[in-house]
Amino acid sequence: MKRVYAKEEVCAGCRLCEIWCVVAHSKSKNIIKAFNEEFPRPLPRVKVEEFGPFSFALQCRHCKEPPCIEACMTGAMHRETPDGPVLHDPDKCVGCWMCIMVCPYGAIARDETEKKIASKCDLCQGEEEPACVAHCPNEALVFEDRGE
Amino acid sequence: MRFSYIEPEFLIERDLERCIRCQVCVRQCAFEAHIYDEASDVVTADSNKCVGCLRCVTMCPTDALIVRPNPTSFKENANWTGRIIKNIYKQAETGGVLLTGMGNDRPYPIYWDHMVLNASQVTNPSIDPLREPMELKTYLGRKPERLDVTLKDGKVSLNTKLAPQLELRMPVLFSALSYGAISFNASKALASAAYEFGTYYNTGEGGLHRDLYQYGERTIVQCASGRFGVHKDYLQAGAAIEIKIGQGAKPGIGGHLPGEKVSSEVSKTRMIPEGSDALSPAPHHDIYSIEDLRQLIYALKEATRYEKPVSVKIAAVHNSAAIASGMVRAGADIIALDGIRGGTGAAPTTIRDNVGIPIELAIASVDQRLREEGIRHQASIIAAGGFRSSSDVVKAIALGADAVYIGTSALVAMGCHLCQICYTGKCNWGIATQDPYLEKRLNPDIAKERLMNLLRAWEHEIKEMLGGMGINAIESLRGNRLHLRGVGLTDSELEILGILPAGR
Residues B315 and B433 in one domain: yes
Residue B153 lies in a domain: no
Residues A49 and A88 in one domain: no
Amino acid at position B367, single letter? D
Residues B189 and B313 in one domain: yes
Residues A107 and A142 in one domain: no
Per-residue model confidence (pLDDT) at position B373: 98
pLDDT tens-digit profile of B255-301? 888 888 899 999 999 999 999 999 999 999 999 999 999 999 999 99
Residue in B20, B24, B443 nearest the CB of A36:
B20
Residues B329 and B199 in one domain: yes
Determine the distance from the C-alpha atom of residue B380 to the mean position of all C-alpha atoms in its chain, rounded to a whole number.
18
Residues B227 and B302 in one domain: yes
pLDDT tens-digit profile of B367-395? 999 999 999 999 999 999 999 999 999 99
DSSP character for B238? S
Asked if the Cβ–Cβ distance from A12 to B446 is below 8 Å, we say no
Per-residue model confidence (pLDDT) at position A125: 93
* Model confidence at B224: pLDDT above 90: yes
* Model confidence at B148: pLDDT above 80: yes
Judged by phi (left if over 0) then psi (alpha if -120 to 50, else beta), residue B490 lies in: beta
Residue B150 lies in a domain: no
* Model confidence at B398: pLDDT above 80: yes
Per-residue model confidence (pLDDT) at position B258: 85
Residues A2 and A52 in one domain: yes
Which residue among B48, B65, B96 closes a domain?
B96
Percent of chain B with pLDDT over 90: 98
CATH of the domain at B184: 3.20.20.70
Residues A72 and A43 in one domain: no
* DSSP letter for each residue of B277-335: -EEEPSS-TT-SSHHHHHHHHHHHHHHTTT-S-EEEEEE--TTHHHHHHHHHHTT-SEE
User: Roughly how many angstroms between the first and final C-alpha of chain B, as a whole number?
Assistant: 61
Residues B302 and B416 in one domain: yes
Per-residue model confidence (pLDDT) at position B57: 98
A113 to chain B, closest Cα gap in Å: 18
CATH of the domain at A18: 3.30.70.20
Residues 375-434 of B with CB under 8 A from A: 430
* Model confidence at B1: pLDDT above 80: no
The Cα–Cα gap between B398 and B394 comes to 6
Q: Is B24 on the interface with A (CB under 8 A)?
A: yes
Residue in B24, B185, B436 nearest the CB of A53:
B436
Residues B416 and B267 in one domain: yes
Amino acid at position B2, single letter? R
The Cα–Cα gap between B203 and B401 comes to 22
Residues B186 and B82 in one domain: no
Q: How far is the CA of B214 from the CAs of A39, B195, B218, B219, B227, in angstroms?
A: 54, 9, 9, 10, 22
A-to-B residue pairs, Cβ atoms closer than 8 angstroms? 62
Residue B116 lies in a domain: no
Q: Give the containing element (helix H, strand E) for B249.
A: none
Residue B1 lies in a domain: no
Residue from A93, A119, A117, A98 nearest A107 by CA: A119
Asked if the Cβ–Cβ distance from A35 to B430 is below 8 Å, we say no
Over range B190-215, report the average pLDDT.
Answer: 97
Q: Is A125 on the interface with B (CB under 8 A)?
A: no
Three-state DSSP state, B78: coil
Per-residue model confidence (pLDDT) at position B84: 96
Q: Is A11 on the interface with B (CB under 8 A)?
A: yes
Q: Is B59 on the interface with A (CB under 8 A)?
A: yes
Q: Structurally, how many domains does chain B consist of?
A: 2
Residues A2 and A27 in one domain: yes
Residue B126 lies in a domain: no
Split at pLDDT 50, 70, 90, the class of B439 is very high
Residues A2 and A55 in one domain: yes
User: Which of B22, B28, B442 is most worth mutating to test chain A (most A CB atoms within 10 A of its CB)?
Assistant: B22
Residue B382 lies in a domain: yes
Over range B110-127, report the average pLDDT.
Answer: 96
Q: Give the containing element (helix H, strand E) for A32.
A: helix A31-36
Q: Is A36 on the interface with B (CB under 8 A)?
A: yes
Task: Pick the residue from chain A with its C-alpha nearest to B429.
Answer: A12
The Cα–Cα gap between A76 and B105 comes to 63
Residue B371 lies in a domain: yes
pLDDT tens-digit profile of B306-325? 999 999 999 999 999 999 99
Residues A95 and A142 in one domain: no
Residues A7 and A47 in one domain: yes
Task: Pick the residue from chain B with its C-alpha nearest to A52.
Answer: B437
Per-residue model confidence (pLDDT) at position B372: 98
Residue in A13, A35, A138 nearest the CB of B443:
A138
Residues A1 and A51 in one domain: yes
Q: Domain residues for B189?
A: 163-475
Split at pLDDT 50, 70, 90, the class of B2 is confident
Asked if the Cβ–Cβ distance from B20 to A35 is below 8 Å, we say yes
Per-residue model confidence (pLDDT) at position B260: 85
Q: Is A28 on the interface with B (CB under 8 A)?
A: no
Count CB neighbours of B450 within 10 A: 18
* Model confidence at B447: pLDDT above 90: yes
Q: Is B130 on the interface with A (CB under 8 A)?
A: no
Query: Taking the CA of residue B416 as centre, how many other CA atoms within 13 Å lie in the half-sphere pointing to its CB?
Result: 25
Residues B91 and B233 in one domain: no
B439 to chain A, closest Cα gap in Å: 8
Residue in B18, B24, B441 nearest the CB of A15:
B24
Residue in A34, A137, A140 nearest the CB of B59:
A137
Q: Is B264 on the interface with A (CB under 8 A)?
A: no
pTM for the structure as a whole: 0.96
Count CB neighbours of A71 within 10 A: 16
Residue in A7, A31, A139 nearest the CB of B20:
A31
Residues A54 and A100 in one domain: no
Contact by Cβ (8 Å): A70, A59: no
Helix segments in B149-225, DSSP class H: 184-197
The Cα–Cα gap between B265 and B352 comes to 29
Per-residue pLDDT tens listing for chain A (148 residues): 899 999 999 999 999 999 999 999 999 999 999 999 999 899 999 999 999 999 999 999 999 999 999 999 999 999 999 989 999 999 999 999 999 999 999 999 999 988 899 999 999 999 999 999 999 999 999 999 998 7
Task: Pick the residue from chain A with its C-alpha nearest to B445.
Answer: A139
Residue B500 lies in a domain: no
Q: How far is the CA of B286 from the CAs of A129, B99, B425, in angstroms?
A: 60, 28, 31
Q: Domain residues for A91?
A: 64-120
Q: Looking at beta carbons, which residues of chain A come within 8 Å of B444?
A: 10
Q: Is A19 on the interface with B (CB under 8 A)?
A: yes
Q: Structurally, how many domains does chain A consist of?
A: 2
